[in-house]
A and B are shown apart, each in its own frame.
Chain A
Amino acid sequence: MKRFFDRLILIDRRVIFLFISLSVIVPLLVKVELPLEVTPEVRRVYELVESLPDGSRILIPCEYAPDVMAEMEPMLYAILRQCYRKNLKVIVTALYPTGVNLIEKELRYMADQMGKKYAEDYVYLGYRPYPAAVILSMGQDFRQSFAVDFYGTPLDSLPMMKGVKNYKDVGLVLTVNATGGTEYWIIYGRERYNFPLAIGVTAVMGADYYNYLKTGQIVGIIPGLKGAAEYEKLIDQPGEAVRGMNIQSIVHLLIVIFVLVGNVGFFLSGQYKKKK
């Protein structure tokens, strides 16, 4: 028996990798549906967007690169779907250099899907360096940092931007962010100019930003793929995130089993006594 437990804690890590891979591949091939509860912090973001009057403007600063696309893309798509359904006018910035073209591609894709036109339904301002300075200057006038949009067109020639000066002219700022820039939006943006701010962040960042929810510095948070899946459920259009979360739950279960097996093996194999 002791030898069995000794073997248990010596399982080759590649065996674990193989099991994890299978737990992703099999549910992808065989449709799996698991229950998904919507958390209050994600619901708050949804309800706030929903409460904006039709035709009002929303600022969505997107700051992420292709490495976290799997988490952030479904999140952005779900948010954009809701905005376009409500006929909100979407203004997008990208204050992280390696995501500039990716975000432009995603915006075009979603606009095509929803039949929306550039400059009338959405505007892409692109990248400017030094996020903190850009966020501060946008509080005075968007044109201070973005005299022209991503394509080089002056902001005043874009129909959607007429009468839009600064944060006062947008109903909500909802940053989809995988960088430290999230903090800039809270500290230099929300705190300085007092606009409603919601954030969508990667799961890694999630735990670090819940404290801002408690202080009321953000109105809601969409954390990682789970948050994106909840958002897809709220807009009643399950997509990549919901599929991902079904698989995610299976993988998590497997990880928990491996952790338990490893610990049982450790305590019953004699290794524990040796270490003591």
Chain B
Amino acid sequence: MPISTDIGVWVAVFFTLCIFSFLYKDNPFYKFAEHVAVGVSAGYWFVVLMKETLEPAVFLPLKQGRWNLVPGPFGIFLLILPVLIGLLLFFRFSKKYNYIARIPIALIYGIGAGPTLVQYLQNSVIRQIQPTMVKISFASWDSFSEVLIAVGVVCGLTYFFFSKEHRGTIGAVAKVGIWTLMIGFGATFGFTVMARVSLLIGRFVFLMRDWLGVIS
């Protein structure tokens, strides 16, 4: 396969090599590529959010006169009120009235926290505690891992118990806790290395297949 003649591929190659150049040392090419990536990403987000959110939810209903999203005299507020509240965010740019921007921010946090609190507590915290309270039969290796989970959770939590000095029994349990945490961090780090190497392989495949055409 011959070398690519696609201009898009050459642009991608240029930016890939710019990023790779950082491995030698920091340089203007790397900085340029970094800034372009941030700028393009922000621009892309803006366009997608504009096209997929504001256009169908606000601009089109306003343009087509579909003001009453729900029947009744207050339907119009469902369209206008959120837009007005959203516009209050721009008061962030005013030195005198920037406190007004806190109203939409508070609403965003409040609406976000409301459903999240209960759902997370129920489905993340409580459900995650359940595997530490299962019946152990000691008939298979599964039971061993269940004991390990229970011990790991208790010891890990003890490590974060700061109301008593970590000495004696508490100290020993906390020590097991920190070892448990370290093993967890090790597993996470191992996965992270794998992920980063995957991305490196992806880039080399791009350079050698899509650009140089030396592999199929």
Interface: A164 (CB within 8 A): no
Which of B120, B128, B131, B204 touches A28 (beta carbons < 8 Å)?
Answer: B204
Report the separation of the CA atoms of residues A24 and B208 in the bound assembly, to the nearest whole angstrom: 11
Contact with A along B130-154 (1 / 0, CB 8 A): 1100000000000000000100000
In the complex the two chains form, what is the Cα distance from A42 to B122 in whole Å? 27
Measured CB to CB, the nearest residue on chain B to A183 is: B124
Contact check, B205 vs A206: say whether CB atoms are below 8 A apart: no
Please, which residue of chain A has its CB at the minimum distance from the CB of B186? A207
The DSSP consensus for interface residues of chain B is: helix
Kindly list the 3 A-B residue pairs having the minimum CB-CB distance in the complex, ordered from nearest: A70-B202, A203-B195, A97-B48
Task: Give Cα A136 to B112, complex, Å.
Answer: 13
Contact B197 A248 (CB under 8 A): yes
Is A98's CB under 8 angstroms from B202's CB?
no
Q: Are B191 and A28 in contact (CB under 8 A)?
A: no
- Judging by beta carbons under 8 Å apart, are B198 and A244 in contact? yes
- Give the chain B neighbours of A247 by CB distance below 8 A: 201
Kindly report which residue of chain A lies nearest to residue B37, judged by CB atoms.
A67
CA distance A69 to B195 in the complex (A): 11
Question: Given A207-B188, A207-B191, A214-B131, do A187 and B52 touch, yes or no (CB 8 Å)?
Answer: no
Mark each residue of chain A from 153 to 177: 1 if its CB lies under 8 Å from any CB of chain B, else 0: 0000000000000000000000000
SS class, residues of chain A in contact with chain B: helix
Question: B204 touching A215 by the CB < 8 A rule?
Answer: no
**In the bound complex, do residue B191 and residue A100 qualify as a contact, i.e. CB atoms below 8 Å apart?**
no
User: Which residues from 67 to 113 on chain A have a C-beta closer than 8 Å to any C-beta of chain B?
Assistant: 67-71, 97-98, 100
* A182 contacts the other chain (CB 8 A): no
Contact A129 B123 (CB under 8 A): no
Could you tell me the distance in whole angstroms from the C-beta of B150 to the nearest C-beta in chain A?
Answer: 12
Contact in complex: A240, B205 (CB < 8 Å): yes
Type the 1/0 row for A208-250, where 1 means its CB is closer than 8 Å to any CB of B.
1001001101000001111000000000000010011001100
CB distance from B36 to the nearest CB of A (A): 14
CA distance A140 to B208 in the complex (A): 48
Q: Does A127 contact B (CB under 8 A)?
A: yes
Size of the chain B interface, CB-CB below 8 angstroms: 41
Supply 16 further A-B pairs (C-beta < 8 A) apart from A29-B208, A97-B52, A240-B205.
A17-B23, A28-B204, A29-B214, A69-B202, A71-B198, A71-B202, A98-B44, A132-B116, A136-B115, A183-B124, A188-B119, A191-B119, A203-B194, A204-B192, A214-B131, A251-B201
30 pairs of residues in contact across A and B, judged by CB atoms under 8 Å: A25-B204, A28-B204, A67-B199, A68-B199, A70-B198, A70-B201, A70-B203, A128-B53, A129-B52, A132-B116, A187-B119, A187-B120, A191-B119, A202-B195, A206-B191, A207-B188, A214-B131, A215-B130, A223-B191, A224-B194, A224-B195, A225-B194, A225-B195, A240-B205, A243-B205, A244-B205, A247-B201, A248-B198, A251-B200, A252-B194
Q: Are B200 and A20 in contact (CB under 8 A)?
A: yes
**Are A132 and B127 in touch, CB under 8 angstroms?**
no
The answer to whether B45 touches A214, judged by C-beta atoms less than 8 angstroms apart, is no
- Cβ–Cβ contact B215 & A29, under 8 A: yes
Cross-chain contact B193 with A224 (CB below 8 angstroms): no
Q: Identify which of B45, B201, B205, B214 gathers the most chain A CB atoms within 10 Å of its CB.
A: B201
The one of A127, A132, A183, A202 that contacts B48, using a Cβ cutoff of 8 Å = A127
Q: Does A260 contact B (CB under 8 A)?
A: no
Q: Is A14 an interface residue (CB 8 A)?
A: yes
B195 surroundings in chain A (CB, below 8 A): 68, 71, 202-204, 224-225
* A214 vs B142: C-alpha distance when bound (angstroms): 11
Nearest CB in chain B: distance from A239 CB, A: 11
Check if B200 sits within 8 Å of A24, measured CB to CB: yes
B74: CB under 8 A from chain A?
A: no
Query: Is B187 an interface residue, CB under 8 A from the partner?
Result: yes
B54 to chain A, nearest CB (A): 10
Q: Given A70-B201, A71-B202, A215 and B128 touching (CB < 8 A)?
A: yes
Decide: A215 and B127 in contact? CB cutoff 8 A.
yes
Q: Determine if A208 and B188 form an interchain contact, defined as CB atoms under 8 angstroms apart.
A: yes
Residues of B within 8 A of A126 (CB): 52
B216 to chain A, nearest CB (A): 10
* Structural contact, A28 and B215, CB atoms closer than 8 A: yes
Contact status B130-A251, CB under 8 Å? no
Contact with B along A121-149 (1 / 0, CB 8 A): 00000111100100010000000000000
Question: With A and B bound together, what is the CA distance between A29 and B209 in angstroms?
Answer: 10
